[in-house]
Amino acid sequence: MRRDPLTVLARLREVEVMQARRALAGEAAARDAAITREAEAMQALRDEAGQDGQAYAAWLPRGLALRDAAADAAEQAEQRARAAAAALGEARAAERTVERLAALRASEARRAARRAEQRVLDEAGARRAASPAAFGGGGQG
């Protein structure tokens, strides 16, 4: 049995949307984790500030570097999450396009079926009108 290309395309688009949703969920989780690491680095800076001044002075460059790296990682994770959201939007748009095309095709098929049905009725009416029985009972009179 031959597969309908539009049905295959619709299934492909559905799979792409599922994959895009998974990718977005993964990127959102990574973004949330990166934001948490950034907050932890900021909290470490605050916590260490209350400690011995000598130890804090020695630790501060490392703490700032950790905070900056965490902030950079959070920004990159946010950008990846935005890109994943955009990819999901594109996948959904492609899926809706195929859905609209399928609906259009179904509508055209219904119209064609109605036209064919009407043609059959018109032909039957024309044959009936042309038959002798339609003009008063077949020649009796």
* CB neighbour class for 110 (10 Å; exposed up to 12, middle 13-18, buried from 19): exposed
Is there a domain that residue 33 lies in?
yes
| Residue 88 phi, psi (nearest 5) | -65, -40
Is there a domain that residue 138 lies in?
no
Is there a domain that residue 72 lies in?
yes
Is there a domain that residue 136 lies in?
no
CATH code assigned at 76:
1.10.287
Instruction: Please give the single-letter amino acid code of residue 134.
Output: A
Helix (H, G, I), strand (E, B) or coil at 140: coil
Q: Pull the structure tokens for residue 20.
A: 């895009």
Give the least confident one: 10-14, 16-20, 72-76, 130-134: 130-134
Is there a domain that residue 133 lies in?
no
Q: Return the higher-pLDDT residue of 47 and 76.
A: 76
Give the separation between CA 22 and CA 102, rounded to whole angstroms. 26
Its domain, for residue 117, covers 5-127
Percent of the chain with pLDDT over 90: 70
- pLDDT above 50: residue 141: no
- pLDDT above 60: residue 85: yes
Mean pLDDT for 89-105 is 96
Percent of the chain with pLDDT over 70: 92
Is there a domain that residue 139 lies in?
no
Domain total in the chain: 1
Element housing 5 (H / E): helix 5-49
Give the separation between CA 102 and CA 82, rounded to whole angstroms. 30
Say what the pLDDT of residue 3 is: 85
Tokens 């993964």 found at: 26
Which of 88-103 are b and which e, b meaning 16 or more Cβ less than 10 Å from the residue's Cβ? beebeebbeebeeeee
Q: Residue 135 has what DSSP assignment?
A: G
The answer to whether residues 98 and 6 touch, using CB atoms and an 8 Å cutoff, is yes
pLDDT, tens digit (0-9, with 9 covering 90-100), for 18-64 = 999 999 999 999 999 999 999 999 999 888 887 777 888 888 899 99
pLDDT band, residue 138 (cuts 50/70/90): low
